[in-house]
Amino acid sequence: MMKKTLLATAIAGAMVATGAQAATVYNQDGTKLDLYGNLQIAYASVEKAQRNDNGEIVGADSADEILDNGSTLGFSGEHMISRGLSGYFKYEFEGEADEAKTAGGLNKGDQAYMGLKGNFGDVRLGSWDPLIDDWIQDPITNNEFFDVSDSSYTRDLDAVSIVGIENREGNKLQYLSPSLSGFQFAIGTQYEGDAEDENFSGSSNASAFGGVKYTAGDFSIAAAYDNLDNNDGTYSGVDVDAGDQYGITAQYTIDTLRVAAKVERFESDNEFSEDANFYALGARYGYGMGDIYGAYQYIDVGGDTFRNVVGDVIKGDAETSETFNEVVIGATYNVSDAMYTFIEGAWYDREKDASDGVAVGAVYLF
């Protein structure tokens, strides 16, 4: 499913492409407040995995539904503090538009943060997507419903899983540098205090993440790393070291065609997950009335053999290695400046075709 926490980014891109604009509620004396959002409803048919008592996939049944696909209402604001220094914020809420009568309205948050930006760069505090998501994973697929897997989220690929991954977006502080001759870097931390329910370690802890990006004209390349330190802890009585995430993604744009390539790795340090490498190619082409897009990804799970300086195997077993080939394709059609439709299909190469499916939907932006 679409990465909803990046919805504002997707909306901003669609607004630029179609001409839709957020509503400015207030703009006076250097202070601006905007209201924006979207309504997304989709139909999806997906092969749902059937599992035995050991959790193994033994079959898959087609299951379909009409669903909310990430409808969001958001507020953003900015004010000038002094020349070259501004304060800003963003606050987004989600609701279930397909069952609005019974779903409880805007019943959950999406992202919320505030910050300062200027000639020195950008400092942000709050809740938003991981850096590796923004810089490494999304250039390949940040689609409407289906994405290829990555080191944060996989579909029916149980051998690769980061415990506690659902809590990694909050409590963050990040510094993003200005662009210096095309180079830009980001560094940040997520802090979990010992009084917080999502803290699995039992003590206060600060993780570390960072990345560097280089842009030259229509080409860019980015690298990012996350030590997943706040995903360490005790689960079901077992002490777990989550591991590490890192990756590199390059992009190039030619007129209305954008192509991207990714190498990403999850290095597991626990018995719940295998190491995994992700190699992907993605492309998106604007044909005038919308986009056509697709991606291919090769996943190598486990079996990675590491040797020391004298050639002795210190980790890995090639006999346990598994590989998967994932394909996602899709297209959008712009009905108007503020409305578009989409269709997508995905094949994940899982047992019994689990997670394969198709989806269609409509989006209204404001």
Q: Which residue has the higher pLDDT, 177 or 3?
A: 177
Residue 85 has pLDDT above 80, yes or no: yes
pLDDT at 204: 86
At residue 242, what is the residue type? Answer: A
Instruction: Give the residues across from 252 on adjacent strands.
Output: 219, 259
Q: Compute the mean pLDDT over every residue in the chain, rounded to the nearest whole number.
A: 86
Residue-wise DSSP of 26-77: EEETTEEEEEEEEEEEEEEEEEEEEE-TTS-EEEEEEEEEEEE---EEEEEE
What CA–CA distance (Å, rounded) separates 135 from 224? Answer: 7
Highest mean pLDDT among 203-207, 304-308, 316-320: 203-207
pLDDT tens readout for residues 204-261: 888 999 999 999 999 999 999 999 888 776 666 667 778 899 999 999 999 999 999 9
348 band by pLDDT with thresholds 50, 70 and 90: very high
pLDDT tens readout for residues 8-60: 334 434 443 434 568 889 898 889 999 999 999 999 999 998 888 877 888 88
Element (H, E) at 17: helix 7-18
- Reading the block at residue 246, the tokens are 């890192």
Residue-wise DSSP of 301-337: ES---EE-TTS-EEE--GGG-EEEEEEEEEEEEEEET
Domains of the chain: 4-365 (2.40.160.10)
Q: Which residue has the higher pLDDT, 351 or 54?
A: 351
pLDDT at 87: 98
Rg of the chain over all Cα atoms, to the nearest angstrom? 21
Instruction: Answer for the pair 193, 170: CB distance below 8 angstroms, yes or no.
Output: no
Residue 198 has pLDDT above 60, yes or no: yes
Provide mean pLDDT across the span 107-135.
94
pLDDT at 235: 64
Element (H, E) at 140: none
What CA–CA distance (Å, rounded) separates 238 from 244? Answer: 19
pLDDT at 313: 46
Element (H, E) at 247: strand 244-254
- Reading the block at residue 79, the tokens are 């004010």
- Reading the block at residue 119, the tokens are 């000639």
Q: C-alpha angle with apex 249: 244 to 252, nearest 5 degrees?
A: 175
pLDDT at 6: 38
Instruction: Answer for the pair 138, 6: CB distance below 8 angstroms, yes or no.
Output: yes
Which of the residue ranges 92-106, 205-219, 304-318 would you say has the lowest mean pLDDT? 304-318
Q: Which letter does DSSP use for residue 135 in this model?
A: I
Q: C-alpha angle with apex 105: 101 to 107, nearest 5 degrees?
A: 135
**Over 73-112, what HEC string results?**
EEEEEEEEEECCEEEEEEEEEECCHHHHHHHCCCCEEEEE
* 173, burial (CB in 10 Å: exposed 0-12, middle 13-18, buried 19+): middle
Nearest to 10 by CA among 35, 38, 44: 38
Q: Which residue has the higher pLDDT, 194 or 118?
A: 118
The reported pTM is: 0.87
* 306, burial (CB in 10 Å: exposed 0-12, middle 13-18, buried 19+): exposed
- Reading the block at residue 20, the tokens are 């839709």
pLDDT at 201: 67
Instruction: Answer for the pair 356, 346: CB distance below 8 angstroms, yes or no.
Output: yes
pLDDT at 99: 86
